[in-house]
Structure 1
């Protein structure tokens, strides 16, 4: 079986089989039409308006806190484990599907085409980006667990609570059709496979030694995101509005989506650096003084 898959590996089938065919069959059986026909349409596609997400997020936080005011933390260990196992598997599946779609573009057309060309935005990728957006809705359950366990969401700005602005980020990039979206998405999915596996293992009582390395990986993720996104954003504006600044050419996507992406990913980088400082550096300093 393994030898057969290796023999079938190609630019179009980096895994030896075409995973999207199997996904398409499952999608068609549920939705009633092929995944290749998907188009994200505001106001028509489910959950395709941003206010829905904002309302849901703040309802969970403030409504949940109010309901839990006079209650003890609820036991939810098993549900939390299942939640994290499923998110690990789903994140891994989306990562594999995304890589399968991107590898042929990178191999045949190069990095600039895959990051910036309008032709690099395909129905298959749009659907994967949309499913990744829906996963951000699912991840609101993280905040729900924090609320029912009566965990503080404030002082260290818990990652699970604060980063639900990623839902807004995914939404704006879908609407703006920013081809470079795959860079932060593929890095985010990679981190999330490890992160939700970590959450699952710690929920079982395991002592995981690589938590600090996971946070470091998250910081590196945002550094890479910003290098790529600031580069293509600069190139777009230099190409569009000047005749003298050096650039790589234009880049697909709206200016509003680019600005929002730059702003929120920059804030994430500072958030994680601060989280790292509070969680690890201050802890090390306390250990030295004791």
Structure 2
């Protein structure tokens, strides 16, 4: 086992046989494809909304449940396989090591970093259900999808170290979120606090992201090593700060400003 690489007690064959340098070469050549995927996404989403204006909505509950269920299972597996490495990097080294040294691109977590990266393309499909079911499409939703896709693909080419935190947090929050969406599509009913909890977890993710970026600025300012370029750090800071503002505004308008009756109607 290489220094700094977490030693998993169970390693699956697909994790063991994964050859990360090949995917890195692909991303170095093709990471800008994320802009193409984003352009197609915008065209399909807003073109689809235009076409659906004169058409009845589709229910699609079984398909939505399947879609969300698959993403939920995938996210749970990703969280289970990546979180031990994050914990080990903190306990065996330090908190600063966990945000500055990208050893998660080796071993088991390199496979899940690869899946995390390409999953941002597949997650664009979430919005198709919103369009076809004629639900309200808010700016936060499509802005979040596009910027995450582009940033994750761009960051992979640099093997950005704090991506370890961003990946684990995203897998963990999506584990809860997509499982919740699946159960809602299957007509399970939840009390209001569950909705608030999901949004609170998303907001907490953004707060931690902003905090990590501020800390990395301080680390680099002291002249210490941290595997993230200032250019990437600027993009990450802008992205996480805007997410924080948008999620905070969404939380306020959905759970605080609205009356209980209005919230009930919106469900």
CA contact (8 A) 2:166 2:209 kept: yes
Q: Which SS does the other structure have where 2:37 is aligned?
A: helix
Inter-partner Cα distance in structure 1 for 2:186 and 2:85 = 35
CA contact (8 A) 1:87 1:196 kept: yes
The structure 1 residue matched to 2:123, chosen from 128, 135, 139, is: 139
Q: Which SS does the other structure have where 1:277 is aligned?
A: helix
State the TM-score, normalized to the length of structure 1.
0.78
2:74 matched to 1:90?
yes
Q: Hey, what does 1:50 align to over in structure 2?
A: 34
Inter-partner Cα distance in structure 2 for 1:229 and 1:85 = 32
Shift, 1:179, TM fit: 0.4
Q: Hey, what does 1:24 align to over in structure 2?
A: 15
Q: Hey, what does 2:62 align to over in structure 1?
A: 78
Q: For residues 77-101 of structure 1, give each alpha carbon's deviation from its aligned partner in whole angstroms, at most 9, with x where no partner exists.
A: 1000000100000011111221243
Structure 1: runs of 5 or more not aligned: 1-10, 29-33, 241-248
Q: Hey, what does 1:115 align to over in structure 2?
A: 99
- What is the RMSD of the two structures over their aligned residues, measured on CA atoms? 2.5
The structure 2 residue matched to 1:191, chosen from 173, 180, 188, is: 173
Higher radius of gyration, 1 or 2: 1
CA contact (8 A) 1:38 1:124 kept: no
Shift, 1:118, TM fit: 5.1
Q: Hey, what does 2:226 align to over in structure 1?
A: 251
Q: 1:183 to 1:260 in 2, by over 3 A?
A: same
Q: For residues 188-215 of structure 1, give each alpha carbon's deviation from its aligned partner in whole angstroms, at most 9, with x where no partner exists.
A: 2111111111111111112112111211
CA contact (8 A) 1:105 1:120 kept: no
CA contact (8 A) 2:206 2:244 kept: yes
State the TM-score, normalized to the length of structure 2.
0.84
CA contact (8 A) 2:207 2:244 kept: yes
CA contact (8 A) 2:27 2:157 kept: no
2:149 matched to 1:203?
no
CA contact (8 A) 1:39 1:126 kept: no
Structure 2: runs of 5 or more not aligned: 1-5, 263-267
Q: Which SS does the other structure have where 2:258 is aligned?
A: helix
Q: Hey, what does 2:253 align to over in structure 1?
A: 278
Inter-partner Cα distance in structure 1 for 2:233 and 2:28 = 24
CA contact (8 A) 1:68 1:148 kept: yes
Inter-partner Cα distance in structure 1 for 2:206 and 2:255 = 19
Inter-partner Cα distance in structure 1 for 2:99 and 2:28 = 27
Q: Hey, what does 1:163 align to over in structure 2?
A: 144
Q: Hey, what does 2:242 align to over in structure 1?
A: 267
Shift, 1:141, TM fit: 0.9
Shift, 1:63, TM fit: 2.5
